């Protein structure tokens, strides 16, 4: 018997081409994710707004202020007459950090009884607050140090500062020597593309057939379960791989980022991942009654995939139970594979665990999809 | 007019019956946001609190032993043991460790970092360095005070962000099929010949979803307070007003998509897939808006979640009132009215 598979696939491709929105969407998505979104991903805190309340008016406090002004991290375009006004500005969100230098700070510092400088940060955004605070402390410390060096170290009691006893420590950055966070995010953004395409498109395709009742017409034909499902999914697997190649070309053309390792590993991983996610999508389509219901369920999982797979925040920072849960998330493995191959040139031997888990999950999800599919409804 | 009113009420009843009789979807819609909220609230933190470190030791001196113990005892660091020098690259490449400390025979220390994640490696580098420095720091008299969030919980930033994200997507996904489904199933014609004004038809479609969203809002706020320790009591009336406006805006956004889309499939694709990425990345939940390049910053102006995030942080975490968020509030209100007016116009077009 001649296989009907090629005919069914041709039917799917024709339907896809005829759709007014889908093909355009598939060109727009990689452009949005690879061209625009990397510009958004910046973790380093900049433009921290600082206001200084200087009651000391000494050469030391002036020096601190000038160091803060000249730092790339800070801007000093707000001013406050007193502490209360500064706090008001901070609460309104105009100011992020208040530096309040008490009266006679420099004089008291020399005698060793100085009242401390007060640093207040708006910590609603914990990362920004903590980092801004750290920068401010470093900047102030460097001002003190500079003045101390000019006047001879004994002016301020700096002997026990880490500087004199500092043991030789060198730091070496590997794999991303320019420390470009965008290079870290780009491979992961490509995975978002695959995730969205492989989760939502097959799901909506099958649910459309279900809602229009055309799936029943297929059910009464002698087309087997497997052939039917393959015909539905093969176009999406191809689409995923083509989109990935397109995204990789864009990343090379625009950001000059090329994989340090073998592209073959990336495509192998991406293919396994596409298998996983499409199997998952079919399972959800099988158990849902309406298109909206199916999308809600898929949305529920995609949100978890996006936020808990190490895409934006490290998996290692999550509590143990949440980390355990992520072993079931295919994106966790492919994101790791993508980043390791792209930036570190990792080999198959480094990533065997991730590939094995992807293969296991792909098998599991596709078995699930076959079990839940009933031809007669 | 009284007649109009009673038709409107019966329309609402019809829509409610439609939506509430689908028990399964209702359960999903009511449970899903709560589960997501709890998961993200507990699981996700932007803090870096676990760094895997390995060591290469050339010769064990008391100093080296002391440093190794210091690393082992640090709560932020998980020691993955002592490895050989030729294993360093493999260990970093496979991701087993994020940093390797190499102690050489001369007492020098070289910290090798996996800088592929530049943000993590910067923190890892400074953590390890400060441990190896035995905590010696500038003896500068400084007192620091983290206002509004003394424990530096990233949840304070994250939970409001997640609320904004979940509400806009779920509400939009609920209403985005409403009009287009009538069109697909052919019941649109029935609506066309009914005497009721399109304004009321559209409004009636939103009422049941509004009820569902308000139930969701209540559960989410109560759970944020009781379970996630988020302060909601600071300014409850303002918080509720803000969230209600945001929910209405989200429902209207879905409605707008519904009047524009040709099929349910396209409407759902837009609300679930296309809108998800900008809502996560341009709302300031993950990446602070003020860091963005100017062009992208302007792009965030059209993202409702961005304004909501700004406002809800002020209300929830800082306990400020309506006067502090009037700008965000006004922008959200204008967006809602604008989208609603456009939706009605589009709906009218279809009537002709």
Flag whether residue B62 sits within 8 Å of chain A, measured between CB atoms: no
Contacts of B310 in chain A (CB under 8 A): 93
Flag whether residue A164 sits within 8 Å of chain B, measured between CB atoms: no
Contacts of A314 in chain B (CB under 8 A): 48, 50, 117, 120
Report phi then psi at B103, rounded to 5: -95, 120
Contacts of A153 in chain B (CB under 8 A): none
Residue A375 has pLDDT above 60, yes or no: no
Nearest CA in chain A to B88: A174
Residue numbers of B between 129 and 188 with CB closer than 8 Å to A: 129, 132-133, 136-150, 152-154, 156-157, 166, 169-170, 173-174, 177, 184
pLDDT at A215: 78
DSSP β-ladder status, B99-103 and B51-57: parallel
Contacts of A260 in chain B (CB under 8 A): none
Residue A125 has pLDDT above 80, yes or no: no
pLDDT at B254: 93
pLDDT at B59: 83
pLDDT at B331: 94
Residue numbers of A between 71 and 130 with CB closer than 8 Å to B: 87, 90-93, 109, 114-130
Q: To 10 degrees, the CA torsion angle through A185, A187, A188, A189?
A: 80
Residue numbers of A between 11 and 30 with CB closer than 8 Å to B: 20-22, 25, 29
Highest mean pLDDT among A148-157, B244-253, B288-297: B244-253
Nearest CA in chain A to B285: A125
User: Which residues does residue A170 pair with via DSSP β-bridges, in sequence order?
Assistant: B110
> What letter would DSSP give residue A170?
E
For the domain A48-165, what is the CATH superfamily, name and number? Answer: abc type-2 transporter like domain (3.40.1710.10)
Residue numbers of B between 193 and 252 with CB closer than 8 Å to A: none
Contacts of A143 in chain B (CB under 8 A): none
B42, B92, B125: residue with CB nearest A171: B125
Instruction: Please judge whether A123 and B45 are an interchain contact, meaning their C-beta atoms are less than 8 angstroms apart.
Output: no
Helices (H) and strands (E) in chain B, counts: 15, 5
| Average of per-residue pLDDT across B172-194 | 82
Instruction: Please judge whether B156 and A124 are an interchain contact, meaning their C-beta atoms are less than 8 angstroms apart.
Output: yes
DSSP string, B34-86: HHHHHHHHHH--SS---EEEEEEESS--HHHHHHHHHHHH-TTEEEEEE--GG
Start-end of H helices in chain A: 5-18, 22-30, 37-40, 59-70, 83-92, 105-111, 126-151, 162-165, 181-212, 214-219, 225-255, 263-287, 291-308, 320-326, 330-339, 352-372
Map out the domains of chain B with their CATH numbers.
Answer: 2-44+152-351 (no CATH), 51-132 (3.40.1710.10)
Instruction: Please judge whether B152 and A129 are an interchain contact, meaning their C-beta atoms are less than 8 angstroms apart.
Output: yes
Residue A275 has pLDDT above 60, yes or no: yes
Distance from CA of A178 to the nearest CA of B (A): 9
Instruction: Please judge whether B146 and A133 are an interchain contact, meaning their C-beta atoms are less than 8 angstroms apart.
Output: yes
Instruction: Please judge whether A121 and B51 are an interchain contact, meaning their C-beta atoms are less than 8 angstroms apart.
Output: no
Nearest alpha carbon to residue B94 among A246, A265, A318, A93: A265
Band the pLDDT of A295: cuts 50, 70, 90.
very high
Q: To 10 degrees, the CA torsion angle through A240, B172, B166, A362?
A: -30
B contact test, residue of A147, A172, A322 with most B CBs within 10 A: A172
pLDDT at A64: 86
Residue B93 has pLDDT above 90, yes or no: no
Radius of gyration of chain B (CA): 27
Tens of pLDDT, residues A165-184: 344 566 666 676 666 788 88
Residue B250 near residue B167, CB atoms below 8 Å: yes
Query: Domain extents for chain A?
Result: 5-41+179-372, 48-165
Distance from CA of B75 to the nearest CA of A (A): 12
Q: Decide: residue B299, CB within 10 A, 0-12 exposed, 13-18 middle, 19+ buried.
A: middle
Q: Which has the higher per-residue pLDDT, B248 or B6?
A: B248
Nearest alpha carbon to residue A373 among A237, A233, A238, A234: A233
Instruction: Please judge whether B287 and A40 are an interchain contact, meaning their C-beta atoms are less than 8 angstroms apart.
Output: yes
Instruction: Please judge whether B146 and A316 are an interchain contact, meaning their C-beta atoms are less than 8 angstroms apart.
Output: no
Q: To 10 degrees, the CA torsion angle through B165, B169, B170, B174?
A: 160
pLDDT at B141: 66
B contact test, residue of A93, A132, A295, A322 with most B CBs within 10 A: A295
- Measured CA to CA in angstroms, residue A326 lies from A117, A338, B145 at distances of 45, 17, 36
Residue A155 has pLDDT above 60, yes or no: no
Instruction: Please judge whether A299 and B45 are an interchain contact, meaning their C-beta atoms are less than 8 angstroms apart.
Output: no
Tokens of A371: 């079990």
User: Whats the size of chain A, residue-wise?
Assistant: 377
Nearest alpha carbon to residue A282 among A182, A212, A198: A198
- Please give the order of strands across the beta sheet that includes A169-174: A169-174, B109-114, B99-103, B51-57, B77-82
Q: Which has the higher per-residue pLDDT, B282 or A93?
A: B282
**C-alpha–C-alpha distance, residues B339 and A109, integer Å:** 61
Sorted by sequence, the CB contacts under 8 Å of residue A240 that are 6+ apart come out as: A194, A197, A198, A270, A274
Flag whether residue B52 sits within 8 Å of chain A, measured between CB atoms: yes
Q: Which has the higher per-residue pLDDT, B281 or B157?
A: B281
Instruction: Report the SS3 class of residue B113.
Output: strand
Q: How many CB atoms lie within 10 A of CB A118?
A: 16
A contact test, residue of B140, B174, B212 with most A CBs within 10 A: B140
Tokens of B82: 């002592």
Nearest CA in chain B to A322: B43
A125, A157, A319: residue with CB nearest B43: A319
Tens of pLDDT, residues B4-55: 778 788 888 888 888 888 888 888 889 998 898 888 888 877 677 788 889 8
Tens of pLDDT, residues B123-140: 788 778 777 776 544 456
Residue B276 near residue A302, CB atoms below 8 Å: yes
Q: How many CB atoms lie within 10 A of CB A150?
A: 10
| Average of per-residue pLDDT across B322-344 | 91
Radius of gyration of chain A (CA): 29
Residue numbers of A between 219 and 258 with CB closer than 8 Å to B: none
Tokens of B104: 């050489």
Band the pLDDT of A332: cuts 50, 70, 90.
very high
Residue B282 Rama label (left phi>0; alpha psi -120 to 50; beta): alpha
Flag whether residue A264 sits within 8 Å of chain B, measured between CB atoms: no
B39, B120, B136: residue with CB nearest A304: B39
| Average of per-residue pLDDT across A121-133 | 75
Band the pLDDT of B252: cuts 50, 70, 90.
very high
DSSP string, A276-314: HHHHHHHHHHHH-SSHHHHHHHHHHHHHHHHHHSSSSS-
Distance from CA of A1 to the nearest CA of B (A): 35
Q: Cα–chain-centroid distance for residue B310?
A: 12
Average pLDDT, chain A: 83
Nearest CA in chain B to A171: B111
Tens of pLDDT, residues A245-266: 999 999 999 988 889 889 999 9
Residue A156 has pLDDT above 70, yes or no: no
Residue A141 has pLDDT above 50, yes or no: yes
Flag whether residue A208 sits within 8 Å of chain B, measured between CB atoms: yes
Contacts of A155 in chain B (CB under 8 A): none
Distance from CA of A350 to the nearest CA of B (A): 5
Residue A323 has pLDDT above 60, yes or no: yes
Distance from CA of B219 to the nearest CA of A (A): 17
Highest mean pLDDT among A59-68, B41-50, B68-77, B247-256: B247-256
Distance from CA of A125 to the nearest CA of B (A): 5
**C-alpha–C-alpha distance, residues A99 and A118, integer Å:** 6
pLDDT at A162: 39
A119, A200, A345: residue with CB nearest B273: A200
Average pLDDT, chain B: 83
- Range scoring the smallest mean pLDDT among A20-24, A111-115, B288-292, B348-352: B348-352
């Amino acid at each position: 018997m001649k296989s009907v598979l090629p005919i069914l696939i041709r039917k799917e491709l024709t339907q896809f081409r005829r759709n007014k929105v889908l093909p355009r969407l598939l060109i727009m998505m990689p452009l949005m994710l690879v061209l625009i979104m990397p510009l958004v991903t910046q973790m380093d805190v900049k433009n921290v707004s600082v206001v200084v309340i200087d009651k000391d008016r000494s050469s030391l406090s002036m020096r601190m202020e000038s160091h803060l002004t000249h730092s790339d991290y800070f801007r000093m375009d707000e001013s406050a007459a007193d502490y209360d006004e500064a706090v008001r500005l901070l609460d309104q969100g105009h100011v992020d950090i208040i530096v309040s230098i008490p009266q006679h700070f420099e004089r008291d510092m020399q005698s060793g009884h100085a009242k401390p400088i007060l640093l207040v940060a708006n910590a609603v955004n914990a990362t920004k607050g903590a980092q801004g605070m750290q920068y401010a402390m470093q900047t102030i410390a460097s001002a003190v140090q500079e003045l101390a060096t000019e006047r001879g170290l004994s002016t301020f009691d700096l002997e026990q500062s880490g500087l004199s006893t500092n043991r030789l420590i060198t730091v070496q950055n590997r794999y991303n020597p320019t420390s470009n966070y965008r290079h870290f995010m780009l491979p992961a953004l490509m995975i978002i593309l695959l995730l969205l395409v492989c989760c939502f498109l097959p799901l909506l395709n099958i649910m459309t057939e279900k809602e229009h009742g055309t799936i029943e017409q297929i059910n009464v034909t002698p087309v087997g379960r497997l052939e039917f499902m393959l015909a539905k999914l093969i176009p999406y697997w191809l689409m995923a791989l083509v989109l990935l190649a397109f995204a990789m070309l864009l990343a090379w053309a625009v950001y000059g980022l090329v994989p340090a390792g073998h592209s073959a590993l990336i495509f192998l991983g991406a293919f396994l991942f596409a298998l996983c996610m499409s199997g998952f999508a079919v399972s959800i389509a099988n158990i849902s009654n309406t298109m909206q219901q199916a999308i809600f369920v898929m949305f529920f999982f995609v949100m978890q995939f996006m936020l808990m797979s190490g895409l934006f925040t490290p998996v290692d920072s999550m509590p143990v139970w949440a980390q355990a849960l992520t072993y079931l998330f295919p994106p966790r493995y492919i994101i790791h594979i993508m980043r390791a191959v792209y930036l570190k040139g990792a080999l198959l031997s480094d990533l065997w665990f991730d590939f094995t888990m992807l293969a296991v999950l792909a098998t599991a999800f596709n078995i699930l999809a076959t079990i839940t599919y009933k031809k007669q409804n | 007019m009284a007649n109009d009113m009673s038709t409107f009420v019966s329309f609402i009843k019809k829509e409610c019956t439609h939506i509430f009789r689908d028990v399964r979807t209702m359960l999903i819609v009511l449970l899903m946001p709560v589960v997501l909220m709890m998961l993200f609230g507990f699981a996700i933190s932007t803090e870096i609190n676990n760094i895997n470190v390995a060591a290469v030791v050339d010769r064990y001196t008391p100093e080296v032993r002391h440093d190794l113990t210091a690393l082992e005892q640090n709560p932020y660091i998980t020691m993955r043991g002592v490895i050989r020098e030729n294993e360093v690259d493999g260990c970093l490449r496979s991701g087993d460790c994020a940093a390797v400390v190499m102690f050489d025979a001369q007492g020098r220390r070289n910290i090798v970092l996996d800088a592929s994640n530049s943000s993590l490696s910067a923190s890892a580098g400074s953590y390890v360095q400060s441990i190896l420095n035995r905590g010696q720091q500038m003896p500068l008299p400084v007192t620091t005070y983290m206002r509004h969030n003394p424990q530096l919980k990233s949840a304070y930033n994250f939970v409001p962000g997640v609320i904004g994200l979940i509400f806009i997507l779920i509400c939009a996904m609920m209403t985005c099929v409403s009009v287009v489904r009538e069109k697909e199933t052919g019941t649109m014609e029935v609506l066309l010949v009914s005497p009721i004004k399109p304004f009321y038809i559209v409004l009636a479609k939103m009422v049941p979803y509004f009820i569902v969203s308000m139930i969701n809002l209540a559960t989410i706020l109560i759970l944020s307070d009781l379970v996630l320790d988020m302060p909601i009591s600071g300014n409850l009336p303002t918080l509720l007003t803000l969230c209600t406006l945001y929910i209405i805006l989200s429902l209207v956004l879905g409605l707008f998509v519904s009047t524009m889309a040709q099929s349910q499939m396209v409407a759902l694709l837009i609300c679930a897939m296309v809108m998800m990425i900008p809502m996560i990345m341009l709302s300031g939940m993950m990446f602070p808006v003020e860091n963005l390049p100017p062009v992208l910053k302007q792009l965030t102006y059209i993202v409702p979640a961005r304004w909501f995030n700004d406002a809800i942080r002020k209300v929830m975490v800082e306990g400020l009132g309506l006067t502090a968020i009037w700008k965000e509030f006004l922008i959200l209100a204008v967006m809602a009215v604008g989208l609603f007016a456009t939706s009605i116009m589009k709906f009218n077009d279809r009537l002709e």
